[in-house]
Amino acid sequence: MPTLLAAAAFVAGCPAVGNGQTASQTPPDASAPRVRLSVGYEAHRDRLRYTFENPSNIDTPFLVPHNFVQTYVGDNLWLASSARYPLLATFMKTEFAVAPEKRTVASDLDTFFDPDDTIVSGTDGDVSMRAFRFAQWSEGRLWNLSMRMGYVYRRDRTEFHSTERIVTHSHPASSSRAPIATHETTISQVHEVPIGVTNQRRLGGRWVMIAGADVSPVTLARLTTILPEKYPGRDILFQAKVATLTATAELVWQRARWPVTFSAVYGRTWSYRSASQFDRDVLQVGVHLGVMP
């Protein structure tokens, strides 16, 4: 949270630079190239967590309060690309990034609150995750600030490896493990419609610092769970509406045709309802090489 506040303060307090292109968020002057392409490499520390509540049962003939929680360690290395170009009297930016399949850890735990017992059942072990991200932005200026609006889509697919089912009871206290033969696949899809503000400051020479903040008050997170042996032909879908805030800092080394950008991004979500939650905490750093045809 301090990172977000600092970035917001920087955005509000920096004077706008009105001439010349210094980074992807700021419209160039008439002499600057009108198209910019870039490729980049990003390292992500990523944590995802879904929590949903609904009545269910495990060893009673009636429904009891129940929740399930899925957590993922989504740390990975991403390859990213982007194109910025003029369209309809404004500038647009299209981004695409992909994270290759990586072995990591995740858990899927159900908790049942029986009248005289609390039962936790589920898995906690190795998984394989892969992901991709797409974003489309429209840029402009308002009150001497660079503004942007966009759409961001991210999809994470997770395959759970063979493991054991862990079952614990609170009364009497006990714990057991048993191999499971079922396969589990989950798909997380997150749709954001953010609006953001950026500003920049020349540091001297060819260096420029850019800070920005994006907020998406309504972000839709959809979790699909596929258990082919337990529920053949049926996917289990839950969704949560949350808010997303992202802070970005970029250090740009301006070169005639090959600008280099070093970036740091922090983002997190806030859930509106305890019965349907999506929590994401991500920190990423990257380096991007641009080209101006």
- Bridge partners for 253 per DSSP: 207, 260
Full residue range of the structural domain in which residue 72 is found: 2-291
20 pLDDT higher than 60: no
Contact 214, 181 (CB under 8 A): no
Kindly report whether the peptide bond that precedes residue 2 is cis, defined as omega within 30 degrees of 0.
no
Region 80-86: mean pLDDT is 95
17 pLDDT higher than 50: no
> Per-residue DSSP letters for the chain?
-HHHHHHHHHHHHSPPP-SS--STTS---TTS-S-EEEEEEEEEEEEEEEEEE--B-SSSSS-B-EEEEEEEE--EEEEEEEEEEEETTEEEEEEEEEEEEEEEEEEEEEEEEETTEEEEEEEEEEEEEEEEEEEEEEEEEETTEEEEEEEEEEEEEEEEPS-EEEEEEETTEEEEEEE-----EEEEEEEE--EEEEEEEEEETTEEEEEEEEEEEEEEEEEEEE-TTTSTT-EEEEEEEEEEEEEEEEEEE--SS--EEEEEEEEEEEESBTTEEEEEEEEEEEEEEEE--
1 pLDDT higher than 70: no
pTM: 0.85
Tokens of 119: 């039962």
Q: How far is CA 193 from CA 190, 196, 204, 218, in A?
A: 10, 10, 35, 7
Place of tokens 């349907």: 276
Tokens of 47: 């944590």
Region 2-24: mean pLDDT is 37
Residue 283 confidence (pLDDT): 97
C-alpha to C-alpha distance for 69 and 74, rounded to whole angstroms? 16
155 pLDDT higher than 50: yes
How high does pLDDT run on average in the chain? 88
Give the best-scoring range by mean pLDDT among 11-15, 19-23, 87-91, 105-109: 105-109
Q: How confident is the model at residue 13 (pLDDT cuts 50, 70, 90)?
A: very low
The enclosing domain of 223 has a CATH number of 2.40.128.90
Residue 230 confidence (pLDDT): 83
14 pLDDT higher than 60: no
What's the distance, Cα to Cα, between the start and end of the chain in Å? 39
31 pLDDT higher than 50: no
Share of the chain above pLDDT 90, in %: 72
42 pLDDT higher than 90: yes
40 pLDDT higher than 90: yes
Share of the chain above pLDDT 70, in %: 89
281 pLDDT higher than 80: yes
Q: For the chain, what is the domain count?
A: 1
